[in-house]
Amino acid sequence: MATHRILVCDPLAEEGLHILEEIGEVQTCFDFTEQQLIEAIKDADAMVVRSGTQVTAPIIQASTRLKIIARAGVGVDNIDLDAATRQGIIVVNCPTGNTVATAEHALALLLAAARNIPQANISLRAGRWERGRFMGRQVAGKTLAIIGLGKIGTEVARRATALGMEVVAYDPYVAPDHASSLGVQMQSLAEVLAEADFITIHTALTDETQGLIDAEKLEHVKPDAIIINCARAGIVDEDALLTALQEGKIGGAALDVFAGGSEPNAELIALDNVIATPHLGASTTEAQVNVAVDAAKQVVDVLRGQAPRWPVHC
């Protein structure tokens, strides 16, 4: 029987690579240009990516044997789903593998912002003792608005409730019973933004959510509110956010994703009321193993003629 050829286009945990190697020949294609991927994909049966690789229509159209594109993570906005559908290629993701890691990072950013931890750390390392400058606020009794009460938003809600926060949420696709079971009150987007002391984003980036939090929405946020984004940069209008922060219309931001990707807006991340991390939401050892294994198992299932666990459809 012919060996399957599998392209792995971004770093993948060894546990996932071992699973793939049992069913075929694995070729790593890190940092390939679009043209290089067009050449590499021509006789590939499967492709595994994370967020670093853009799977464009020309790449997909160049394939002759490709059966599956597996995203070792949640978001599939780096894959042209329409092109994959036209080619009859299955696209899968791994929506549960990094759920807890991302939820924990969102809460870590929330707490760090509430207590000015990064700024205080920098100050102390520079030889200054500035207790008064870094007066923070406790989160117990404060209101957290969750935009997107899916898997990650749900885990954030559970942890925030344990911290004594009041949790409200906006998600037009979540059943009220689910929210009620978490002790979360569902409201309109305008209502949660106006009420919240902290706002955390946990929705997918789609045409509907692109620019969801724009200049007009930010006008209705409390002047001391803090926005946390560990989801996708495009959900929050970054230019509008920068202006609101500079003008003191909101209290601060804690960001893990940026419109410029690995080249974030230097003016934005230099602000004293901004905490920035380099897309660390899923960066735990446990999460990386989980998504690598999940992606690899789905590739094996499809190449063996079985249905994958988490198919994505346009």
Task: Report the alpha-carbon distance of residue 171 to residue 153 in Å, rounded.
Answer: 10
Residue 1, pLDDT score: 43
Per-residue pLDDT of 136-192, as tens digits, reads: 999 999 999 999 999 999 999 999 999 999 999 999 999 999 999 999 999 999 999
Residue 240, pLDDT score: 98
**Catalytic member of 125, 208, 263, 313:** 263
Token digits of residue 199: 């706002």
Are 77 and 122 in a shared domain? Answer: no
Per-residue pLDDT of 180-221, as tens digits, reads: 999 999 999 999 999 999 999 999 899 999 999 999 999 999
CB crowding 31-51: b at 16 or more within 10 Å, else e: ebeeeebbebbeebbbbbbbb
Are 292 and 271 in a shared domain? Answer: no
Residue 313, pLDDT score: 72
Residue 22, pLDDT score: 94
Residue 2, pLDDT score: 55
What amino acid occupies position 36? Answer: Q
Task: Report the alpha-carbon distance of residue 135 to residue 114 in Å, rounded.
Answer: 9
Are 35 and 83 in a shared domain? Answer: yes
**Catalytic member of 4, 50, 105, 279:** 279
Are 109 and 190 in a shared domain? Answer: yes
CB crowding 100-123: b at 16 or more within 10 Å, else e: bbbbbbbbbbbbbbbbbbbbbeeb
For the chain, percent of residues with pLDDT exceeding 70 = 99
User: Is 263 a known active-site residue?
Assistant: yes
Average pLDDT over residues 296-311: 96
Query: What confidence tier does 51 reach under pLDDT thresholds 50, 70, 90?
Result: confident
Are 199 and 240 in a shared domain? Answer: yes
Token digits of residue 46: 């499967």
Angle between helical axes of 99-114 and 117-125 (0-180°, round to 10): 60
Are 150 and 229 in a shared domain? Answer: yes
Are 31 and 89 in a shared domain? Answer: yes
* CATH classification at residue 297: 3.40.50.720
The yes-or-no verdict on residue 110 having pLDDT over 50 is: yes
CB 49 within 8 A of CB 78: yes
Name the domain count of the chain.
Answer: 2
Query: What confidence tier does 35 reach under pLDDT thresholds 50, 70, 90?
Result: very high
User: Is 238 a known active-site residue?
Assistant: no
* Torsion sign over Cα 154, 155, 158, 161: negative
Q: Max CA-CA distance within the chain? A: 71
Task: Report the alpha-carbon distance of residue 277 to residue 134 in Å, rounded.
Answer: 20
Are 119 and 257 in a shared domain? Answer: yes
The yes-or-no verdict on residue 314 having pLDDT over 70 is: no
**Catalytic member of 5, 71, 202, 232:** 232
DSSP per residue, 201-233: E-----TTTTT-B-HHHHTTS-TT-EEEE-S-G
Are 180 and 305 in a shared domain? Answer: no
Identify the burial level of 216 via C-beta atoms within 10 angstroms of its C-beta, where 0-12 means exposed, 13-18 middle and 19 or more buried: exposed
Residue position matching structure tokens 């885990």? 155
3-state secondary structure of 285: helix
Average pLDDT over residues 255-271: 96
* Of residues 166, 108, 157, 117, the one with CA closest to residue 137: 117
| Residue 95 CB coordination number (10 Å) | 21
Are 256 and 160 in a shared domain? Answer: yes
User: Is 220 a known active-site residue?
Assistant: no
Token digits of residue 1: 């029987």
Which residue range is the domain that position 18 belongs to?
4-97+285-312
Identify the burial level of 180 via C-beta atoms within 10 angstroms of its C-beta, where 0-12 means exposed, 13-18 middle and 19 or more buried: exposed
Per-residue pLDDT of 282-301, as tens digits, reads: 999 999 999 999 999 999 99
Which DSSP letter does residue 295 get?
A: H
Average pLDDT over residues 231-259: 97
> The pTM is what?
0.87
Are 149 and 243 in a shared domain? Answer: yes
Are 103 and 243 in a shared domain? Answer: yes
